[in-house]
Chain A
Amino acid sequence: MISLEGVTYSYMPGINALDHIDLNIGAGELVAIVGENGAGKTTLVKHINGLLKPSEGRVTVCGLDSKAVTVASLARKVGLVFQNPDHQLFAETIEKELSFALVNFGLPPDEIKRRTEWAISEFELSQYAGRSPFMLSGGERKRLALASVLCYGPEVLILDEPTTGQDNRQKVRMASLLHKLNQQGKTVLVVTHDMEFVSDYIPRVVVMSHGRVIADGQSGDVLVRRDILERASLVPPQLAEISWELGLDPPSIRLDDVVARLAKLIGGAKA
Protein backbone atom coordinates (compact mmCIF):
# COMPACT_ATOMS: atom_id res chain seq x y z
CA MET A 1 0.00 0.00 0.00
CA ILE A 2 2.65 2.45 1.14
CA SER A 3 6.26 1.78 0.41
CA LEU A 4 9.31 3.93 1.05
CA GLU A 5 12.62 2.81 -0.38
CA GLY A 6 15.81 4.55 0.71
CA VAL A 7 14.00 7.84 1.19
CA THR A 8 16.26 10.75 2.07
CA TYR A 9 15.18 14.35 2.42
CA SER A 10 16.90 17.48 3.66
CA TYR A 11 15.53 20.97 4.30
CA MET A 12 19.04 22.33 4.60
CA PRO A 13 22.08 20.98 2.80
CA GLY A 14 24.16 18.74 5.04
CA ILE A 15 21.39 17.87 7.48
CA ASN A 16 19.14 14.99 6.55
CA ALA A 17 15.65 15.27 8.02
CA LEU A 18 15.06 11.79 6.66
CA ASP A 19 18.01 9.48 6.28
CA HIS A 20 17.55 6.43 4.04
CA ILE A 21 14.15 5.37 5.31
CA ASP A 22 12.83 1.97 4.27
CA LEU A 23 9.28 1.34 5.35
CA ASN A 24 6.40 -0.81 4.14
CA ILE A 25 2.86 -0.46 5.34
CA GLY A 26 0.26 -2.90 4.09
CA ALA A 27 -3.38 -2.18 3.24
CA GLY A 28 -5.59 -2.15 6.33
CA GLU A 29 -2.81 -1.70 8.86
CA LEU A 30 -3.05 0.55 11.90
CA VAL A 31 0.37 2.01 12.63
CA ALA A 32 1.76 4.56 15.08
CA ILE A 33 4.78 6.67 14.26
CA VAL A 34 6.59 7.88 17.37
CA GLY A 35 9.88 9.59 18.11
CA GLU A 36 11.48 12.63 19.73
CA ASN A 37 10.75 16.19 18.64
CA GLY A 38 12.44 16.78 15.31
CA ALA A 39 12.87 13.07 14.62
CA GLY A 40 11.30 13.51 11.19
CA LYS A 41 7.79 12.16 11.81
CA THR A 42 5.92 14.99 10.12
CA THR A 43 8.46 15.13 7.31
CA LEU A 44 7.85 11.42 6.77
CA VAL A 45 4.06 11.70 6.54
CA LYS A 46 4.33 14.70 4.21
CA HIS A 47 6.13 12.38 1.82
CA ILE A 48 3.23 9.96 1.86
CA ASN A 49 0.75 12.47 0.46
CA GLY A 50 3.27 14.09 -1.85
CA LEU A 51 3.63 17.47 -0.14
CA LEU A 52 7.33 16.70 -0.05
CA LYS A 53 9.19 14.70 -2.67
CA PRO A 54 12.24 12.67 -1.65
CA SER A 55 15.68 14.03 -2.56
CA GLU A 56 16.75 10.40 -2.90
CA GLY A 57 14.79 7.18 -3.00
CA ARG A 58 11.19 6.43 -3.91
CA VAL A 59 7.77 6.74 -2.30
CA THR A 60 4.96 4.62 -3.71
CA VAL A 61 1.38 4.92 -2.49
CA CYS A 62 -1.43 2.78 -3.95
CA GLY A 63 0.90 2.00 -6.84
CA LEU A 64 1.55 5.68 -7.61
CA ASP A 65 5.05 7.11 -7.52
CA SER A 66 4.82 10.32 -5.50
CA LYS A 67 7.21 12.10 -7.85
CA ALA A 68 5.04 11.41 -10.87
CA VAL A 69 1.69 12.74 -9.58
CA THR A 70 0.35 16.00 -8.12
CA VAL A 71 -0.42 16.52 -4.44
CA ALA A 72 -4.12 16.80 -5.29
CA SER A 73 -4.29 13.41 -6.98
CA LEU A 74 -2.38 11.76 -4.14
CA ALA A 75 -4.44 13.62 -1.53
CA ARG A 76 -7.54 11.98 -3.01
CA LYS A 77 -6.16 8.66 -1.73
CA VAL A 78 -4.23 9.87 1.32
CA GLY A 79 -6.02 12.05 3.87
CA LEU A 80 -3.66 14.02 6.10
CA VAL A 81 -5.04 15.77 9.17
CA PHE A 82 -2.61 18.26 10.64
CA GLN A 83 -1.96 18.99 14.30
CA ASN A 84 -3.43 22.44 14.43
CA PRO A 85 -7.02 22.71 13.13
CA ASP A 86 -6.64 26.49 12.89
CA HIS A 87 -4.31 25.94 9.96
CA GLN A 88 -7.12 24.69 7.81
CA LEU A 89 -10.51 25.94 8.98
CA PHE A 90 -11.67 28.92 6.93
CA ALA A 91 -15.26 28.56 5.72
CA GLU A 92 -18.32 30.52 6.84
CA THR A 93 -20.18 27.46 8.03
CA ILE A 94 -19.38 23.97 9.19
CA GLU A 95 -21.13 22.54 6.14
CA LYS A 96 -18.98 24.57 3.75
CA GLU A 97 -15.90 23.54 5.66
CA LEU A 98 -16.80 19.89 5.30
CA SER A 99 -17.61 20.16 1.61
CA PHE A 100 -14.38 22.00 0.69
CA ALA A 101 -12.39 18.90 -0.19
CA LEU A 102 -15.45 17.26 -1.79
CA VAL A 103 -15.87 20.21 -4.14
CA ASN A 104 -12.13 20.27 -4.89
CA PHE A 105 -12.26 16.61 -5.87
CA GLY A 106 -15.27 17.25 -8.10
CA LEU A 107 -17.87 15.05 -6.43
CA PRO A 108 -21.51 15.41 -7.60
CA PRO A 109 -23.73 17.77 -5.50
CA ASP A 110 -26.05 15.10 -4.04
CA GLU A 111 -23.02 13.05 -2.98
CA ILE A 112 -21.49 16.14 -1.35
CA LYS A 113 -24.74 16.74 0.56
CA ARG A 114 -24.93 13.11 1.70
CA ARG A 115 -21.34 12.99 2.91
CA THR A 116 -21.54 16.34 4.68
CA GLU A 117 -24.62 15.18 6.58
CA TRP A 118 -22.89 11.91 7.44
CA ALA A 119 -19.87 13.75 8.85
CA ILE A 120 -22.02 16.11 10.91
CA SER A 121 -23.86 13.26 12.60
CA GLU A 122 -20.81 11.00 12.94
CA PHE A 123 -18.81 13.69 14.72
CA GLU A 124 -21.69 15.01 16.86
CA LEU A 125 -21.59 18.45 15.30
CA SER A 126 -25.30 18.78 14.44
CA GLN A 127 -25.93 21.29 17.23
CA TYR A 128 -23.53 23.65 15.46
CA ALA A 129 -24.96 23.23 11.94
CA GLY A 130 -24.98 26.48 10.00
CA ARG A 131 -22.58 28.12 12.44
CA SER A 132 -19.03 29.29 11.88
CA PRO A 133 -16.19 26.84 12.56
CA PHE A 134 -14.53 29.57 14.63
CA MET A 135 -17.35 29.40 17.19
CA LEU A 136 -16.31 25.89 18.17
CA SER A 137 -14.06 25.01 21.09
CA GLY A 138 -10.51 23.74 20.55
CA GLY A 139 -11.45 20.07 20.82
CA GLU A 140 -14.45 20.52 18.52
CA ARG A 141 -12.36 22.32 15.92
CA LYS A 142 -9.97 19.38 15.99
CA ARG A 143 -12.87 17.01 15.37
CA LEU A 144 -14.18 19.17 12.53
CA ALA A 145 -10.76 19.20 10.88
CA LEU A 146 -10.67 15.42 11.08
CA ALA A 147 -14.23 15.16 9.75
CA SER A 148 -13.44 17.43 6.82
CA VAL A 149 -10.78 14.99 5.67
CA LEU A 150 -12.60 11.77 6.53
CA CYS A 151 -15.72 12.74 4.59
CA TYR A 152 -14.04 12.37 1.22
CA GLY A 153 -13.17 8.77 2.05
CA PRO A 154 -9.43 8.50 1.49
CA GLU A 155 -8.01 4.96 1.48
CA VAL A 156 -5.12 5.99 3.72
CA LEU A 157 -5.66 8.26 6.69
CA ILE A 158 -2.80 9.99 8.47
CA LEU A 159 -3.39 11.83 11.74
CA ASP A 160 -0.74 14.14 13.17
CA GLU A 161 -1.07 14.32 16.98
CA PRO A 162 -4.81 13.56 17.12
CA THR A 163 -4.94 13.24 20.92
CA THR A 164 -3.29 16.48 22.05
CA GLY A 165 -5.75 18.69 23.88
CA GLN A 166 -8.38 15.95 24.03
CA ASP A 167 -9.75 14.61 27.28
CA ASN A 168 -9.86 10.91 27.99
CA ARG A 169 -13.43 10.50 26.73
CA GLN A 170 -12.44 11.97 23.38
CA LYS A 171 -9.33 9.80 23.27
CA VAL A 172 -11.39 6.67 23.77
CA ARG A 173 -13.79 7.86 21.06
CA MET A 174 -10.84 8.58 18.79
CA ALA A 175 -9.50 5.08 19.40
CA SER A 176 -12.83 3.45 18.57
CA LEU A 177 -13.14 5.57 15.43
CA LEU A 178 -9.66 4.49 14.33
CA HIS A 179 -10.58 0.85 14.90
CA LYS A 180 -13.83 1.28 13.00
CA LEU A 181 -12.03 2.81 10.03
CA ASN A 182 -9.46 0.08 10.24
CA GLN A 183 -12.18 -2.58 10.13
CA GLN A 184 -13.57 -0.91 7.01
CA GLY A 185 -10.21 -1.73 5.45
CA LYS A 186 -8.64 1.74 5.69
CA THR A 187 -4.93 2.08 6.32
CA VAL A 188 -4.41 4.38 9.29
CA LEU A 189 -1.20 6.09 10.44
CA VAL A 190 -1.02 8.05 13.67
CA VAL A 191 1.85 10.39 14.50
CA THR A 192 1.94 10.91 18.26
CA HIS A 193 3.83 11.40 21.49
CA ASP A 194 1.05 9.82 23.51
CA MET A 195 2.64 6.50 24.40
CA GLU A 196 -0.28 5.29 26.52
CA PHE A 197 -2.58 5.82 23.55
CA VAL A 198 -0.24 3.78 21.35
CA SER A 199 0.24 0.97 23.84
CA ASP A 200 -3.50 0.71 24.52
CA TYR A 201 -4.88 0.94 21.01
CA ILE A 202 -2.34 0.64 18.19
CA PRO A 203 -0.92 -2.76 17.16
CA ARG A 204 2.16 -1.71 15.16
CA VAL A 205 4.65 1.01 16.02
CA VAL A 206 7.46 2.62 14.05
CA VAL A 207 10.04 4.45 16.20
CA MET A 208 12.02 7.26 14.60
CA SER A 209 15.09 9.09 15.82
CA HIS A 210 17.28 11.61 13.97
CA GLY A 211 15.65 10.90 10.63
CA ARG A 212 15.99 7.12 10.85
CA VAL A 213 13.67 4.27 11.72
CA ILE A 214 15.26 2.70 14.81
CA ALA A 215 12.55 0.15 15.54
CA ASP A 216 9.50 -1.23 13.77
CA GLY A 217 7.25 -4.00 15.03
CA GLN A 218 4.41 -5.10 17.27
CA SER A 219 3.72 -2.50 19.99
CA GLY A 220 3.99 -5.24 22.62
CA ASP A 221 7.55 -6.00 21.53
CA VAL A 222 8.84 -2.51 20.76
CA LEU A 223 7.43 -0.49 23.64
CA VAL A 224 9.08 -2.65 26.28
CA ARG A 225 12.57 -2.04 24.90
CA ARG A 226 14.20 0.43 27.25
CA ASP A 227 17.16 1.22 24.93
CA ILE A 228 14.90 2.12 22.01
CA LEU A 229 12.57 4.30 24.08
CA GLU A 230 15.49 6.13 25.65
CA ARG A 231 17.13 6.80 22.28
CA ALA A 232 13.93 8.35 21.01
CA SER A 233 13.21 10.30 24.24
CA LEU A 234 9.90 8.52 24.75
CA VAL A 235 8.07 7.99 28.03
CA PRO A 236 7.68 4.24 28.51
CA PRO A 237 4.09 3.05 28.93
CA GLN A 238 3.30 2.65 32.64
CA LEU A 239 2.74 -1.08 32.27
CA ALA A 240 6.18 -1.51 30.69
CA GLU A 241 7.73 0.30 33.65
CA ILE A 242 5.84 -1.86 36.10
CA SER A 243 7.04 -4.93 34.21
CA TRP A 244 10.65 -3.78 34.43
CA GLU A 245 10.38 -2.96 38.13
CA LEU A 246 8.91 -6.35 38.90
CA GLY A 247 11.39 -8.09 36.65
CA LEU A 248 8.66 -9.71 34.56
CA ASP A 249 10.20 -11.68 31.73
CA PRO A 250 9.18 -10.97 29.05
CA PRO A 251 7.82 -7.51 29.96
CA SER A 252 4.31 -6.68 28.82
CA ILE A 253 2.16 -3.65 27.99
CA ARG A 254 -1.17 -5.48 28.37
CA LEU A 255 -3.11 -4.79 31.55
CA ASP A 256 -4.72 -8.24 31.86
CA ASP A 257 -1.38 -9.91 31.22
CA VAL A 258 0.47 -7.87 33.85
CA VAL A 259 -2.35 -8.35 36.37
CA ALA A 260 -2.41 -12.12 35.83
CA ARG A 261 1.32 -12.44 36.31
CA LEU A 262 1.28 -10.08 39.27
CA ALA A 263 -1.40 -12.24 40.90
CA LYS A 264 0.73 -15.29 40.29
CA LEU A 265 3.74 -13.52 41.80
CA ILE A 266 1.82 -12.56 44.95
CA GLY A 267 0.26 -16.01 45.16
CA GLY A 268 3.71 -17.60 44.86
CA ALA A 269 5.12 -15.42 47.63
CA LYS A 270 2.31 -16.40 50.00
CA ALA A 271 2.81 -20.10 49.39
Chain B
Amino acid sequence: MKVFKGFEYRRGTTPIHALDPRAKLVYLMLFMALAILYSNPLVLIMIFASSLPMVAIARVFSKWAISIRGSFIFVAFIFLFNLLALYFWGGNTLEVAVLSSLSMAIRFISLISIFSTFFLTTSPEDMTQSMVQMKIPYDYALTFNMAMRFVPTLSKEAQYIMDAQKSRGLEMEKGNLVARVKNYIPVLIPLIISSFRRAELVADAMESRAFGASKKRTSIYVLRFGGKDALFVSIALASFFALLSLRLLLSVP
Protein backbone atom coordinates (compact mmCIF):
# COMPACT_ATOMS: atom_id res chain seq x y z
CA MET B 1 0.00 0.00 0.00
CA LYS B 2 3.07 2.19 0.28
CA VAL B 3 2.99 2.61 -3.50
CA PHE B 4 0.25 5.28 -3.13
CA LYS B 5 2.84 7.55 -1.51
CA GLY B 6 4.37 7.81 -4.96
CA PHE B 7 1.24 9.56 -6.22
CA GLU B 8 0.42 11.75 -3.22
CA TYR B 9 0.67 15.51 -3.63
CA ARG B 10 2.99 17.36 -1.27
CA ARG B 11 3.20 21.13 -1.29
CA GLY B 12 6.26 22.45 -3.09
CA THR B 13 7.65 25.71 -4.41
CA THR B 14 9.49 24.53 -7.53
CA PRO B 15 8.61 25.80 -11.05
CA ILE B 16 6.99 22.42 -11.82
CA HIS B 17 4.69 22.73 -8.81
CA ALA B 18 3.80 26.26 -9.88
CA LEU B 19 2.74 25.27 -13.40
CA ASP B 20 -0.91 25.48 -14.35
CA PRO B 21 -2.45 22.00 -14.04
CA ARG B 22 -3.77 22.38 -17.60
CA ALA B 23 -0.22 22.74 -18.91
CA LYS B 24 0.81 19.56 -17.12
CA LEU B 25 -2.33 17.88 -18.35
CA VAL B 26 -1.34 18.66 -21.95
CA TYR B 27 2.02 16.99 -21.32
CA LEU B 28 0.33 14.02 -19.67
CA MET B 29 -2.07 13.48 -22.57
CA LEU B 30 0.55 13.91 -25.31
CA PHE B 31 3.04 11.52 -23.80
CA MET B 32 0.40 9.01 -22.81
CA ALA B 33 -0.66 8.95 -26.47
CA LEU B 34 2.96 8.40 -27.52
CA ALA B 35 3.41 5.59 -25.01
CA ILE B 36 0.37 3.83 -26.45
CA LEU B 37 1.34 4.55 -30.05
CA TYR B 38 4.90 3.24 -29.98
CA SER B 39 6.12 -0.27 -29.37
CA ASN B 40 9.81 0.34 -30.00
CA PRO B 41 11.61 -0.12 -26.67
CA LEU B 42 14.06 2.72 -27.39
CA VAL B 43 11.30 5.25 -28.05
CA LEU B 44 9.49 4.07 -24.95
CA ILE B 45 12.64 4.63 -22.93
CA MET B 46 12.75 8.18 -24.32
CA ILE B 47 9.16 8.71 -23.20
CA PHE B 48 10.13 7.46 -19.77
CA ALA B 49 13.15 9.79 -19.80
CA SER B 50 10.93 12.78 -20.62
CA SER B 51 9.59 12.73 -17.08
CA LEU B 52 13.04 12.71 -15.49
CA PRO B 53 13.88 16.43 -15.92
CA MET B 54 10.51 17.24 -14.34
CA VAL B 55 11.23 14.92 -11.42
CA ALA B 56 14.61 16.57 -10.96
CA ILE B 57 13.33 20.16 -11.14
CA ALA B 58 10.39 19.37 -8.84
CA ARG B 59 12.74 17.62 -6.38
CA VAL B 60 10.37 14.72 -5.88
CA PHE B 61 12.84 11.99 -6.70
CA SER B 62 12.41 9.94 -3.53
CA LYS B 63 8.59 9.91 -3.77
CA TRP B 64 8.73 9.21 -7.49
CA ALA B 65 11.10 6.32 -6.79
CA ILE B 66 8.48 4.79 -4.48
CA SER B 67 5.99 4.59 -7.33
CA ILE B 68 8.58 3.13 -9.68
CA ARG B 69 9.79 0.59 -7.14
CA GLY B 70 6.22 -0.26 -6.19
CA SER B 71 5.36 -1.03 -9.80
CA PHE B 72 8.24 -3.46 -10.29
CA ILE B 73 6.17 -6.45 -9.27
CA PHE B 74 3.51 -5.55 -11.88
CA VAL B 75 6.20 -4.90 -14.46
CA ALA B 76 7.73 -8.30 -13.79
CA PHE B 77 4.29 -9.89 -14.07
CA ILE B 78 3.49 -8.07 -17.34
CA PHE B 79 6.82 -9.07 -18.80
CA LEU B 80 6.58 -12.74 -17.84
CA PHE B 81 2.94 -13.11 -18.79
CA ASN B 82 3.45 -11.55 -22.21
CA LEU B 83 6.59 -13.53 -22.81
CA LEU B 84 4.92 -16.85 -22.04
CA ALA B 85 1.79 -15.97 -23.99
CA LEU B 86 3.64 -14.74 -27.07
CA TYR B 87 6.19 -17.52 -27.12
CA PHE B 88 4.18 -20.59 -26.20
CA TRP B 89 0.68 -19.74 -27.43
CA GLY B 90 1.39 -16.98 -29.93
CA GLY B 91 3.94 -19.07 -31.83
CA ASN B 92 6.40 -16.18 -32.12
CA THR B 93 10.15 -16.51 -32.21
CA LEU B 94 11.91 -15.97 -28.89
CA GLU B 95 13.39 -12.68 -30.11
CA VAL B 96 10.03 -11.18 -31.05
CA ALA B 97 8.48 -12.41 -27.82
CA VAL B 98 11.23 -10.90 -25.65
CA LEU B 99 11.23 -7.58 -27.49
CA SER B 100 7.52 -7.05 -27.42
CA SER B 101 7.14 -8.12 -23.77
CA LEU B 102 9.99 -5.77 -22.96
CA SER B 103 8.22 -2.86 -24.63
CA MET B 104 5.01 -3.75 -22.76
CA ALA B 105 6.92 -3.56 -19.49
CA ILE B 106 8.66 -0.29 -20.39
CA ARG B 107 5.37 1.21 -21.59
CA PHE B 108 3.81 0.44 -18.25
CA ILE B 109 6.69 1.92 -16.29
CA SER B 110 6.67 5.04 -18.51
CA LEU B 111 2.98 5.57 -17.84
CA ILE B 112 3.56 5.14 -14.11
CA SER B 113 6.37 7.66 -14.24
CA ILE B 114 4.33 10.25 -16.16
CA PHE B 115 1.31 9.90 -13.89
CA SER B 116 3.40 9.87 -10.73
CA THR B 117 5.14 13.10 -11.75
CA PHE B 118 1.81 14.70 -12.54
CA PHE B 119 0.09 13.78 -9.28
CA LEU B 120 3.14 14.44 -7.09
CA THR B 121 3.30 18.04 -8.25
CA THR B 122 -0.35 18.97 -8.82
CA SER B 123 -2.59 19.82 -5.88
CA PRO B 124 -6.06 18.24 -6.00
CA GLU B 125 -7.67 21.65 -5.44
CA ASP B 126 -5.88 23.17 -8.44
CA MET B 127 -6.81 20.10 -10.41
CA THR B 128 -10.51 20.60 -9.60
CA GLN B 129 -10.28 24.31 -10.34
CA SER B 130 -8.66 23.65 -13.70
CA MET B 131 -11.37 21.13 -14.57
CA VAL B 132 -14.04 23.69 -13.69
CA GLN B 133 -12.29 26.28 -15.85
CA MET B 134 -12.27 23.73 -18.65
CA LYS B 135 -16.08 23.78 -18.38
CA ILE B 136 -16.36 20.38 -16.76
CA PRO B 137 -19.44 20.50 -14.47
CA TYR B 138 -18.45 21.15 -10.86
CA ASP B 139 -20.11 17.98 -9.57
CA TYR B 140 -17.91 15.81 -11.77
CA ALA B 141 -14.78 17.79 -10.98
CA LEU B 142 -15.52 17.46 -7.27
CA THR B 143 -16.18 13.73 -7.58
CA PHE B 144 -12.79 13.30 -9.19
CA ASN B 145 -11.14 15.46 -6.53
CA MET B 146 -12.72 13.50 -3.71
CA ALA B 147 -11.78 10.17 -5.23
CA MET B 148 -8.17 11.35 -5.25
CA ARG B 149 -8.47 12.77 -1.78
CA PHE B 150 -9.60 9.44 -0.32
CA VAL B 151 -6.89 7.23 -1.81
CA PRO B 152 -4.46 7.74 1.11
CA THR B 153 -7.31 7.37 3.61
CA LEU B 154 -8.31 4.10 2.03
CA SER B 155 -4.79 2.76 1.97
CA LYS B 156 -4.38 3.59 5.66
CA GLU B 157 -7.67 1.90 6.41
CA ALA B 158 -6.66 -1.19 4.45
CA GLN B 159 -3.61 -1.38 6.70
CA TYR B 160 -5.76 -1.19 9.86
CA ILE B 161 -8.01 -3.94 8.55
CA MET B 162 -5.11 -6.18 7.65
CA ASP B 163 -3.69 -5.70 11.13
CA ALA B 164 -7.03 -6.61 12.69
CA GLN B 165 -7.47 -9.75 10.58
CA LYS B 166 -3.88 -10.86 11.05
CA SER B 167 -4.52 -10.56 14.78
CA ARG B 168 -7.32 -13.07 14.31
CA GLY B 169 -4.95 -15.53 12.67
CA LEU B 170 -5.40 -14.63 9.01
CA GLU B 171 -2.27 -15.51 7.06
CA MET B 172 -2.45 -13.61 3.81
CA GLU B 173 0.48 -15.39 2.15
CA LYS B 174 -0.77 -18.88 2.90
CA GLY B 175 -1.99 -21.38 0.33
CA ASN B 176 -2.11 -21.59 -3.46
CA LEU B 177 -3.20 -18.81 -5.80
CA VAL B 178 -6.95 -19.38 -5.31
CA ALA B 179 -6.56 -19.51 -1.51
CA ARG B 180 -4.52 -16.31 -1.55
CA VAL B 181 -7.15 -14.46 -3.51
CA LYS B 182 -9.76 -15.75 -1.04
CA ASN B 183 -7.59 -14.47 1.82
CA TYR B 184 -8.36 -10.96 0.63
CA ILE B 185 -12.10 -11.31 1.27
CA PRO B 186 -11.83 -10.54 5.02
CA VAL B 187 -9.91 -7.39 4.08
CA LEU B 188 -11.96 -6.22 1.12
CA ILE B 189 -15.41 -6.53 2.69
CA PRO B 190 -14.71 -4.27 5.69
CA LEU B 191 -12.94 -1.86 3.33
CA ILE B 192 -15.93 -1.64 1.01
CA ILE B 193 -18.48 -1.41 3.82
CA SER B 194 -16.59 1.32 5.63
CA SER B 195 -16.21 3.21 2.35
CA PHE B 196 -20.00 3.19 1.98
CA ARG B 197 -20.36 4.36 5.56
CA ARG B 198 -17.85 7.11 4.93
CA ALA B 199 -19.52 8.19 1.69
CA GLU B 200 -22.77 8.60 3.58
CA LEU B 201 -21.02 10.60 6.28
CA VAL B 202 -19.32 12.86 3.77
CA ALA B 203 -22.62 13.42 1.98
CA ASP B 204 -24.30 14.37 5.26
CA ALA B 205 -21.43 16.68 6.20
CA MET B 206 -21.60 18.37 2.79
CA GLU B 207 -25.36 18.82 2.88
CA SER B 208 -25.23 20.25 6.36
CA ARG B 209 -22.86 22.85 4.99
CA ALA B 210 -25.36 23.66 2.25
CA PHE B 211 -23.66 21.96 -0.67
CA GLY B 212 -25.44 22.85 -3.90
CA ALA B 213 -27.41 25.71 -2.33
CA SER B 214 -26.44 28.16 -5.04
CA LYS B 215 -26.53 27.16 -8.69
CA LYS B 216 -23.66 29.37 -9.76
CA ARG B 217 -20.41 28.91 -7.89
CA THR B 218 -17.68 31.51 -7.88
CA SER B 219 -14.04 30.88 -7.07
CA ILE B 220 -11.92 32.77 -4.60
CA TYR B 221 -9.01 32.55 -6.98
CA VAL B 222 -8.78 31.72 -10.66
CA LEU B 223 -5.98 29.85 -12.39
CA ARG B 224 -4.11 31.89 -14.97
CA PHE B 225 -2.33 30.35 -17.91
CA GLY B 226 0.88 32.40 -18.00
CA GLY B 227 4.12 32.68 -19.93
CA LYS B 228 5.82 29.83 -18.05
CA ASP B 229 2.91 27.57 -18.81
CA ALA B 230 3.04 28.47 -22.48
CA LEU B 231 6.76 27.74 -22.51
CA PHE B 232 6.22 24.37 -20.84
CA VAL B 233 3.48 23.44 -23.30
CA SER B 234 5.69 24.49 -26.23
CA ILE B 235 8.51 22.26 -25.01
CA ALA B 236 6.06 19.40 -24.51
CA LEU B 237 4.60 19.92 -27.99
CA ALA B 238 8.02 20.19 -29.61
CA SER B 239 9.19 16.94 -27.97
CA PHE B 240 5.91 15.33 -28.91
CA PHE B 241 6.31 16.18 -32.60
CA ALA B 242 9.97 15.25 -32.54
CA LEU B 243 9.07 11.80 -31.23
CA LEU B 244 6.08 11.56 -33.56
CA SER B 245 8.31 12.30 -36.56
CA LEU B 246 10.17 9.07 -35.87
CA ARG B 247 7.01 7.26 -36.87
CA LEU B 248 6.03 9.59 -39.72
CA LEU B 249 9.46 9.92 -41.33
CA LEU B 250 11.33 6.78 -40.36
CA SER B 251 8.30 4.54 -39.71
CA VAL B 252 9.65 3.38 -36.36
CA PRO B 253 7.13 0.90 -34.90
Contact = CB atoms under 8 A, between A and B. Distances in A.
A134 B193 contact: yes
Interface size class of A (residues with CB under 8 A): 20 to 34
B78 interface: no
A142 B35 CA distance: 50
Contacts of B185: 90
B165 interface: yes
A75 interface: yes
A86 B163 contact: no
A80 B166 CA distance: 10
B252 interface: no
Given A82-B164, A134-B193, A90 B169 contact: no
Contact of B189 (A90, A101, A104, A152): A90
A122 to B, nearest CB: 18
Given A86-B193, A87-B194, A101 B164 contact: no
B168 A148 contact: yes
Nearest to A51: B163
Given A82-B160, A86-B190, A90-B185, A149 B197 contact: no
Interface string B197-219: 10000000000000000000000
A82 B162 CA distance: 11
A51 B167 contact: yes
B171 A104 contact: yes
B174 to A, nearest CB: 8
B126 interface: no
B215 to A, nearest CB: 37
B186 interface: yes
Interface in A96-120: 100-101, 104-105
Interface in A52-73: 70-72
A97 to B, nearest CB: 10
A75 to B, nearest CB: 5
Contacts, number: 67
Interface string B93-122: 000000000000000000000000000000
B161 interface: yes
A35 interface: no
B239 to A, nearest CB: 37
Contact of A87 (B157, B169, B170, B171): B157
A179 to B, nearest CB: 23
B163 A72 contact: no
A88 interface: yes
Given A84-B160, A87-B194, A152-B168, 14 more contacts: A51-B163, A51-B167, A72-B169, A75-B167, A75-B168, A82-B167, A86-B193, A88-B165, A90-B185, A90-B186, A90-B189, A90-B190, A104-B170, A149-B168
Interface of B: 157, 160-161, 163-171, 185-187, 189-190, 193-194, 197
Across the A-B interface, the 3 shortest Cβ-Cβ residue pairs? A104-B169, A90-B189, A88-B164
